[in-house]
A and B are shown apart, each in its own frame.
Chain A
Amino acid sequence: MKALAAAAVALALLIALALLAPQWLVFMAMLALAKGVVVLGLVVLMRTGLVSFGQGLYFGIGAYAAALLSHQWHIADAAVMLLAAAAAGGLIAALLGLLLARYRDIFFAMLSLALSMILYGLLVKSAALGSTDGFNLHARTFFGMAFASGMERRVFLIAGSACAVVAALMVHRLLGRHWGRLASAVRDNELRVSYLGASPYRVVYVNYLIAGALAGFGGALAALAVGHVDPETTYWTTSGEFVFIAILGGTQSIIAPFVAAAIFEALRTIASQYAPNVWQMSLGLAMLAIIMFQPAGLWSLAERWRRSA
């Protein structure tokens, strides 16, 4: 009930923002939302104790899936793009997960990174997809409805918000029951999980699949905001950003990824205006501060504040 109310409030705020905010803020909100969804998936995966340094793979797959729909097949419907991107991310994750779910710790992290870099290499080499330049996408309708120019992005933000809120609610439900506890159990002690009669492999596999589908969705949403895709979406620095945001927010709440992504995007916008040269360095310092002083993420601050209130 509390979660439902929070979801309704979040959705109302996002819709208000989509309708009233200036274009630049709508753009920023779309990007933050897109990254928040990817990080939500990452948080699901992290419950099992695994960190993927290659979610850019699915972010890129989602972005390119959306762009290809528009570019190759002249499908300019944002709803189709978002759904296709989530499906593409989930499908590839279902395949690669068969392999990855066998690995743990640094091997899992590095293998996921390697897979994303393979896609990066392929995209850079592929002239048909614009190699390093990428190509543009055009989305004009949503479920067949057309909108006045200038309104499209606002509508896409509303649609993205609705999907993100539903996804967050579903993840909240999922982690709040047996599955969430089972994921923590896999993180703590796989031997005991097996000796209780459950399969750690299956838990990791399913959570990896969820993370892949959410990242694919996020990729399409980002592509809709930018109107352009390029191999950068799958580059390791993009994947690193997702891990950064996950740590910034912490993994204990499903709201944290979105708040952290918003803070991240805001900081980046400000930094690129006023201090474009020290942006990377400030990121590094911020990470250092988080890990040293707030290792459970910014969300733990909110928790503490709520408890003392």
Chain B
Amino acid sequence: MNAVLTAEGLKKSFGAVTAAANISLAFDANTVVSLIGANGAGKTTFLNMVTGYLKPDSGRIMFDRRNIVGLSPRQITKLGVSRSFQVPQLFQTLNVRDNLLIAESIAGAKDPQAATDAALARFALEPYGHQQAGLLPEGIRKLLDVAMALSSRSKLLLLDEPTSSVSADEKFAIMDVVMGAARAAGVTVIFVEHDMDIVARFAGRVVAFYDGGIIADGTPDTVLRADSVRRYVIGDEVPHAAA
């Protein structure tokens, strides 16, 4: 009904590889949706198409009732779509504070300094404010990447594996901070995740990708229990499954 983002019939192939095979998805406002799938299933490709980094071979992407296919990442960001990356994209030689200050200034915050203070607090990054981004531990780099994405004008927040390459005991703490900040900002969240415990805990809806297509879509309970998902995504030995 109240969809923020709607993808209709997205197709994308790289030579013989089909990274998106006719994907149609709608995301409602103020929901938290997780995209799961094995390596190479097409999750990042989906985010790349939504943010204008890749142009789909065919299909439409509606954001705020407007087709955004053909717009650049910069233009789409300005409309309110923010993203973090599988490998954090930071300004390595600058300190944490300046990284955030640049983000808030570009986003057009009325008082960038105050907005930066707020972001530092919201993401529990205050202790790192004066440290150089390139020298931070991976978990903090991940947090900073999300904090930079989530500026005052974000409406939709796309997170590509916010907890990858972070130690298992840090994952939940990081997600708690990220989701708390996202909720406070009132944004819709789509996050790609490989850790099913994280998915079960934070997602209200799960979409499972396989080979560029969608094999399951629904509540975490139903999707994470589906045979196809257990076989192709989680990698369980599924009893009694046809070969």
Interface residues of A, Cβ cutoff 8 Å to B: 178, 181-182, 184-185, 187-189, 191-199
Are B91 and A189 in touch, CB under 8 angstroms?
Answer: yes
Binds A, one of B104-112, B171-179, B183-191, B208-216: B104-112
Instruction: Kindly provide the distance from the CB of A142 to the nearest chain B CB, expressed in whole angstroms.
Output: 41
Which of these, B51, B74, B77, B102, contacts A182 with CB under 8 Å?
A: B102
Instruction: Kindly provide the distance from the CB of B109 to the nearest chain A CB, expressed in whole angstroms.
Output: 11
Are B77 and A185 in touch, CB under 8 angstroms?
Answer: no
Which of these, B78, B92, B101, contacts A181 with CB under 8 Å?
A: B101
Bound state CA distance, A181 and B94, in angstroms? 9
Given A178-B112, A181-B98, A181-B102; A194-B74 close (CB under 8 Å): yes
Is the CB of B45 closer than 8 A to any CB of chain A? no
Is the CB of B35 closer than 8 A to any CB of chain A? no
Identify 4 new A-B residue pairs, CB closer than 8 A, beyond the known A181-B102, A192-B91, A199-B74. A178-B112, A185-B94, A188-B92, A197-B107
Bound state CA distance, A188 and B151, in angstroms? 20
Bound state CA distance, A246 and B174, in angstroms? 43
Instruction: Kindly provide the distance from the CB of B206 to the nearest chain A CB, expressed in whole angstroms.
Output: 25
Are A197 and B72 in touch, CB under 8 angstroms?
Answer: no
Bound state CA distance, A182 and B105, in angstroms? 9
Are A195 and B73 in touch, CB under 8 angstroms?
Answer: yes
Bound state CA distance, A189 and B92, in angstroms? 8
Instruction: Kindly provide the distance from the CB of B98 to the nearest chain A CB, expressed in whole angstroms.
Output: 6
Please report which residues of chain B, range 43-74, place their CB below 8 angstroms from some CB of chain A when the two chains form the complex.
51, 72-74
Is the CB of B13 closer than 8 A to any CB of chain A? no
Instruction: Kindly provide the distance from the CB of A51 to the nearest chain B CB, expressed in whole angstroms.
Output: 16
Given A195-B83, A196-B77, A198-B74; A189-B89 close (CB under 8 Å): yes
Instruction: Kindly provide the distance from the CB of B55 to the nearest chain A CB, expressed in whole angstroms.
Output: 15
Which interface residue of B74, B101, B103 has the most chain A CB atoms within 10 A? B74
Are B93 and A192 in touch, CB under 8 angstroms?
Answer: no
Interface string of B76-96 (1 = CB under 8 A from A): 011000110000011111100
Bound state CA distance, A184 and B105, in angstroms? 14
Instruction: Kindly provide the distance from the CB of A152 to the nearest chain B CB, expressed in whole angstroms.
Output: 46
Which of these, A178, A181, A189, A194, contacts B77 with CB under 8 Å?
A: A194
Are B106 and A196 in touch, CB under 8 angstroms?
Answer: yes
Are A184 and B91 in touch, CB under 8 angstroms?
Answer: yes
Is the CB of B143 closer than 8 A to any CB of chain A? no
Is the CB of B119 closer than 8 A to any CB of chain A? no
Instruction: Kindly provide the distance from the CB of A102 to the nearest chain B CB, expressed in whole angstroms.
Output: 14
Bound state CA distance, A154 and B149, in angstroms? 55
Tell me which residues across on chain A come within 8 A of B51, comparing CB atoms: 195
Please list 28 pairs of residues, one from A and one from B, whose beta carbons are closer than 8 Å in the complex, sorted by A's number.
A178-B102, A178-B105, A181-B98, A181-B101, A181-B102, A184-B91, A184-B93, A185-B94, A185-B102, A187-B93, A188-B90, A189-B90, A189-B91, A191-B89, A192-B89, A192-B91, A194-B74, A195-B73, A195-B77, A195-B82, A195-B83, A196-B102, A196-B148, A196-B151, A197-B74, A197-B78, A197-B106, A198-B74
For A192, give the chain B residue with the smallest CB separation.
Answer: B89
Bound state CA distance, A191 and B112, in angstroms? 21
Bound state CA distance, A197 and B148, in angstroms? 11
Bound state CA distance, A197 and B154, in angstroms? 11
Tell me which residues across on chain A come within 8 A of B103, comparing CB atoms: 196
